[in-house]
Amino acid sequence: MSFIDAIILGLVQGLTEFLPVSSSGHLVIGQHLLKLSGPGLAFDVILHLGTLVSVLIYFRKDLLELLQAFTGNGEGPWRRVGLLILLGTVPTAFIGVLFKDPLEAMFSSVRLVAIMLCVTGLVLFLAERIGRSHRPLFGIQRVDALVIGFVQGVSIIPGLSRSGSTIATGLLLGIEAEAAARFSFLLSIPAILGAVVLQSGNILGQTTNGSAGAFATGFVTAAVSGWWAIGILLKVLKWKRLTFFSVYCWLVAAAAFWTTV
């Protein structure tokens, strides 16, 4: 993998991780178009780690509130949010560990990505039209956390947007758009860290085989572009224009199908 390839894929990851269009799906399509047979999932995880840095920086105030809540110096509602994040992580972890091998095999199918992008577009379309959001971040319940956590776990399927699916689920459950996004991003932190742990052996092996420079380049590119993309999505959610992303997903899905013909 060249540094140019790493930069391109880092941009794809950073821009599409937080916009509801499936970063993993775009990475599968991008690697297909660039004719890259590797480094595969290990590199994908490194790029996700870069976007994790974006979340940590962008939501640093929320994370500080959570830290203070668990050290006894913060407000009670934030402690509850932290416990809900841990609760939502349970179904995500269960799905990730139990179905790790079959889910990884899906990262080689461009056609599957196209199908899942169609599903993502449909979910966003329905959420904008039938979602009745009114509950704030502190109004999220345990059932909400479990459902959103389950959806996050399933969203490891390439083409099924993690951010899009979890935010849309939050809207359908009656959670405010900004609150659904904040909870979705905070919930992604343990999920991404878990993926890094599961892939640590592959990552170490490939970075010691001469790919360290490309991995580092992709990591930095994804972190910078991801931070920018978070701001864009939060503005779009205020405008309530998720249909734009639905149309985009369907167009990319059509293009992905075309590349496999």
Q: Is the pLDDT of residue 144 over 90?
A: yes
Residue 23 pLDDT: 77
Q: Is the pLDDT of residue 45 over 90?
A: no
43 vs 64: CA distance, rounded Å: 30
DSSP string, 210-244: IIHHHHHHHHHHHHHHHHHHHHHHHHHHHHT-THH
DSSP string, 54-107: HHHHHTHHHHHHHHHHHTTSS-HHHHHHHHHHHHHHHHHHHHHHHTHHHHHHGG
228 vs 210: CA distance, rounded Å: 30
How much of the chain exceeds pLDDT 90, in percent? 40
Q: Is the pLDDT of residue 166 over 90?
A: yes
Residue 209 pLDDT: 52
Comparing 36 with 118, which gets the higher pLDDT?
A: 118
Q: What is the pLDDT of residues 71-129, one digit of tens each?
A: 876 668 999 999 999 999 999 989 888 876 777 667 668 888 899 999 999 999 999 88
How much of the chain exceeds pLDDT 70, in percent? 87
* 202 pLDDT tier (thresholds 50, 70, 90): low
Give 135's strand partners: 175
Mean pLDDT of all residues in 3-16 = 83
Cα–Cα nearest to 132, from 180, 166, 171: 171
Helix (H, G, I), strand (E, B) or coil at 133: coil
119 vs 199: CA distance, rounded Å: 27
Q: What is the pLDDT of residues 203-247, one digit of tens each?
A: 555 554 546 788 888 899 999 999 999 998 888 888 777 888 999
Q: Is the pLDDT of residue 192 over 90?
A: no
CB-facing half-sphere around the CA of 87: CA atoms within 13 A: 16
Distance from chain centroid for Cα 105 = 19
Cα–Cα nearest to 79, from 89, 68, 87, 90: 68
Residue 257 pLDDT: 86
205 vs 255: CA distance, rounded Å: 34
Mean pLDDT rounded to a whole number for the chain: 84
pTM of the model: 0.84
Residue 208 pLDDT: 47
The domain limits of the chain are 3-260
Torsion, Cα 86 91 94 98, to 10 degrees, reads -160
